[in-house]
């Protein structure tokens, strides 16, 4: 082995290890308090049966090419039509993942001379899309509408003449808090701006029929929403929903769509069935909200933690080493809870990310909180 060739990468890994930031892949084990399978659809019989039926009628596993070549399957088009109707948008486009969809949006739609304002806690894919895109971009303080307004006003005062884009998540993945959607939409309208809303953690869980926290605003010319299929919908991929003109533009100008092999048609089948399940099985959302409320009460009473009000409950510890030790101890007791460290979260805010799903019962939540109390006292 040529050690010199790999030396800088090895040094980087050793540096991460010294800071307790070295990541490794670990198999899933224990009760699910870490996944995004909020409604328990990933292993549901109905989703499995839909995919099995598709295989039986000859639906291929692979797409075999990009959407603009032979990869455009009837299953993709059926999903996009159903999604557009379900979310109230003119058109929807199916991408292979939420990360790719966010990156694709922000590298293709904002143009040179435009301004993109991103919430500081928006998903990494949005920030990386902004960095790789052609528009000027700035970061605004989390959930601070005035800060977004000030950034736009300052840019205009400095001679900015292009279009303004605002990028946010509707429900934030590490804090579980919501964006002030009404105020953001009003701001976008006032500045004749586009608002890009990543509904990844809201789709399926919040809004009428699980249509997300921006459901009241979809269908507007200046609203583009991203709905991931790999979280509450239990499949994989992502749907970009918005005005037909913008979706048509993506088909013609979006390199991650043009040059990538299309997602599996089977995942389109699964996502389509999941959308139907959102309408047909509203009890799942009711049950999840009951678990969210139960967990919030338990954590507030036993640990003094302020409930997030969503299925994502952060438990901030601060110190990286202690955070990872607590997570490891909980995993050893059979509770799959992961520690989240910088750079995923800001320095000094290392935390447990407790995810609430229908894969656990209230008794499991009570036992987990009891274990958490004991581990915190020992760590």
Catalytic residue among 127, 191, 201, 227: 201
Catalytic residue among 34, 36, 236, 350: 36
Q: Is the dihedral of CA 195, 202, 209, 248 positive or negative?
A: positive
Catalytic residue among 114, 169, 199, 218: 169
Q: How far apart are the first and last CA of the chain?
A: 41
Contact 277, 41 (CB under 8 A): yes
**What number of other Cβ atoms are within 10 A of residue 302's Cβ?**
14
Q: Alpha carbon of 95 to those of 46, 47, 77, 128, 186: distances in Å? A: 23, 19, 12, 17, 29
Q: Which residues contact 34 (CB under 8 A, 6 or more apart)?
A: 336, 337, 338, 353, 355
Return the C-alpha torsion angle 262, 206, 52, 72, nearest 10.
-20
Catalytic residue among 198, 218, 273, 336: 198
- Rounded to an integer, what distance in angstroms lies between the CA atom of residue 176 and that of residue 122? 12
- Rounded to an integer, what distance in angstroms lies between the CA atom of residue 93 and that of residue 73? 13
The DSSP line for 320-373 is HHHHHHHHHHHHHTTEE-EEE-TTTS-TT-EEEEEE--TTS-HHHHHHHHHHHH
Residue 231 annotated among the catalytic residues of the structure: yes
Catalytic residue among 82, 119, 123, 350: 123
Rg for the chain (alpha carbons), in Å?
21
Residue 123 annotated among the catalytic residues of the structure: yes
Residue 72 annotated among the catalytic residues of the structure: no
Catalytic residue among 143, 173, 308, 350: 173
Catalytic residue among 231, 236, 308, 336: 231
Residue owning tokens 């049950």: 287
What is the 3-state composition of the chain as percent helix, strand, coil, each rounded to the nearest 5?
45, 15, 40
Residue 2 annotated among the catalytic residues of the structure: no
Q: What residues are annotated to the active site? A: 36, 123, 169, 173, 198, 201, 231
């Amino acid at each position: 082995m040529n050690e010199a060739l790999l030396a800088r990468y090895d040094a980087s890994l050793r540096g991460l290890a010294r800071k307790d930031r070295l990541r490794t892949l670990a198999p899933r084990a224990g009760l699910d308090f870490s996944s995004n399978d909020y409604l328990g659809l990933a292993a549901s019989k109905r989703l499995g049966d839909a995919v099995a039926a598709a295989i039986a009628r000859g639906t291929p596993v692979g797409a075999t090419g990009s959407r603009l070549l032979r990869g455009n399957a009837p299953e993709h088009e059926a999903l996009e039509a159903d999604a557009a109707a379900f979310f109230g948008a003119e058109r929807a486009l199916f991408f292979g993942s939420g990360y790719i969809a966010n990156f694709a949006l922000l590298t293709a739609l904002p143009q040179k001379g435009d301004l993109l304002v991103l919430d500081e806690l928006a998903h990494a894919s949005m920030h990386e899309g902004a960095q790789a895109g052609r528009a000027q971009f700035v970061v605004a303080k989390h959930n601070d509408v005035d800060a977004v307004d000030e950034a736009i006003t300052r840019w205009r005062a400095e001679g900015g003449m292009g279009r303004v884009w605002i990028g946010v998540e509707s429900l934030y993945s590490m804090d579980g808090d919501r964006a002030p959607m009404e105020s953001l939409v009003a701001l976008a309208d006032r500045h004749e701006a586009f608002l890009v809303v990543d509904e990844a953690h809201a789709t399926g869980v919040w809004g009428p029929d699980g249509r997300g926290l921006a459901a009241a605003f979809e269908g507007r010319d200046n609203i583009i929403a991203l709905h991931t299929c790999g979280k509450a919908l239990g499949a994989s991929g992502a749907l970009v929903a918005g005005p037909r003109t913008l979706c048509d533009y993506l088909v013609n100008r979006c390199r991650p769509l043009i040059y990538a092999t299309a997602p599996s048609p089977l995942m389109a089948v699964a996502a389509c069935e999941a959308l139907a399940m959102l309408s047909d099985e509203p009890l799942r959302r009711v049950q999840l909200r009951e678990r969210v409320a139960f967990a919030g009460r338990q954590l507030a009473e036993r640990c003094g933690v302020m409930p997030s009000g969503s299925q994502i409950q952060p438990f901030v510890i601060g110190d990286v080493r202690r955070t990872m030790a607590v997570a490891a101890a909980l995993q050893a007791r059979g509770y799959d809870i992961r520690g989240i460290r910088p750079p995923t979260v800001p320095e000094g805010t290392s935390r447990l990310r407790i995810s609430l799903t229908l894969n656990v019962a209230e008794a499991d939540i009570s036992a987990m909180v009891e274990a958490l109390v004991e581990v915190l006292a020992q760590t």
